[in-house]
Each structure stands twice: as structure tokens, then as C-alpha cells.
Structure 1
């Protein structure tokens, strides 16, 4: 009986640990965008949604992720991630990021949208490349216009 109890506890712990939502690596040049189906190759603009059930949806650009969000209730999503323009290939929390829309920085889907982990990095790039800065909420409102 003790063995059955131990197995039950171990199984429950494994299930709980296995359900933690976490980013999944993007296989550049192989993974396809969940929204537009293009192959993801750009390490500065890719994005990812991870649901509470730990299902990852990968995107070639943050604008694809925003468009794809309409497929879900926000309560189903655990993580919104965008690649950090300052560190290509590094996913950051999109809700905490600063976004720059600059006609001088092309993105895969033509929205000229880049994400930055640090607002100061975004401001420095903006000083050189021009454009407008947005928080996550401001970006969502802007893209719906």
C-alpha cells in the first residue's frame, strides 16, 4: 500500500511540474509562424505565446502574435514573449517590453515593430532610427486602430 501511495504522490508531482508554462526554443529556419505560416528566420523580431497548458505558438513577428491572440481567451495565455531587438534570439516578456515602431527598422510582416527589454535601449535606438515608443497595452490599442 505504501508503494501505491508513493507512486501516486510522485505521479501528482510530475504532473504539476510538467504543467508549468515555459518558453520553448524557436528553431530558426525550420519552425513556421502559427499565424501566417512563413518560416521563422529573423532572430530580432520573432515571438511566442505559451498557454497555461504549456502549448507554445511561435511567430515570425510580434504583429503576427498580436493578430493570433484573437484565437484565445486571454485567461488561457500564460506568456506573451517577443524577441529582444538588442539581443537577437532572446525571448522577453512582451507585457514588460517597450516597443518601437520605426520605418527605419523593417520587420518580417511590414509593421516595422521591434521589442526591447529595457526602455533605455529602445530610446537609444529611437534616437538613431526615429519612430514611436509603446508599452504592451499601448501597442495593442495602436494595432487595433
Structure 2
């Protein structure tokens, strides 16, 4: 009887673990700032305003210290497709999906890799920033021209 209970308990435990893994969040999870390293350049992620992350289709999560590093990592094709998020420059504890984010390039921004890229939650927020700072709305076309 002990053997049957142990076997049943092991099966239940295995099911619970499997369900929790399969149902894990497909949303951004903030890294441990100052401890987590960038998956591209290996620098510690310390400035919340510029951080980015990628979650692959297979469930592997990559953290980046800057938008520039996430773009370089994506170009390297070291992963299968997935979801990418950028920290909202104005609210860095909030992550914006890549499809929605409006990227701004500004020489006045001191991003970790020095290209001055920041993400905003809307075109209006980006334009508000550009009303008081030098820069422009950035697109993937800009990256191809570099």
C-alpha cells in the first residue's frame, strides 16, 4: 500500500510540475538589475530605462542591457522566433511589446551601448520627449542604413 501511495504521489507531483512549466508566463519578467547579465555583451543590466528581453518559442528567456544588444542578438539568429519587449523609458518597470513600442534615437540619451535608443509606449509619448530633446523616431530601416 505504501508503494502505491508513493507512486500516485509521484505521478501527481509530475503532473503539477509539467502543468506549471507548460503554463509558465509568456510575459516579460524583470531581471535582477545589477546581477543579471546581457545575453549579447555580458554587461550587467543596471539601467532599467533601456533594458530589453526576448522569450523564445521554446520558453528560453534572454535579457539585454539595451535595445541595441537585443537587435544585435536577433540578427545573430542564435534563437528561434519569440516575443521581444522593451522597457518603457518613462516607466521602466513596465515592458512594451516590440510591435507596439515606438523607438527614439537621441544623442541626449546615454544608453549602455551608446546609440541612444529608448522605447516609448506611444507615438504621442515619443513626440512629447522629442519636443524637449534632440533626436528622431527610429525604425529598422535606420538600422539597415548603418
TM range (shorter): 0.7 to 0.9
For 1:16 and 1:102, how far apart are their aligned partners in 2?
40
Structure label with greater radius of gyration: 2
Task: Report the RMSD for the aligned CA atoms in angstroms.
Answer: 2.2
Verify the 8 A CA contact 1:66 1:140 in the aligned structure 2: no
1:83 to 84, 87, 90: 87
Aligned length: 133
For 1:118 and 1:29, how far apart are their aligned partners in 2?
28
Partner of 2:35: 30
For 2:22 and 2:111, how far apart are their aligned partners in 1?
38
Partner of 1:17: 23
For 1:123 and 1:106, how far apart are their aligned partners in 2?
19
Partner of 1:39: 44
Partner of 2:103: 99
Partner of 1:143: 143
For 1:79 and 1:141, how far apart are their aligned partners in 2?
20
Secondary structure of 1:126's counterpart equals helix
Q: CA deviation at 1:53?
A: 1.3
Partner of 1:64: 69
**Unaligned residue ranges in structure 1 (runs of 5+):** none
The answer to whether structure 1 residue 128 and structure 2 residue 132 are counterparts is yes
1:30-88: CA deviation from partner (whole Å, max 9, x where unpaired): 001111111000010010011011111100000000000023378x2221111100102
Verify the 8 A CA contact 1:21 1:78 in the aligned structure 2: no
**Unaligned residue ranges in structure 2 (runs of 5+):** 1-7
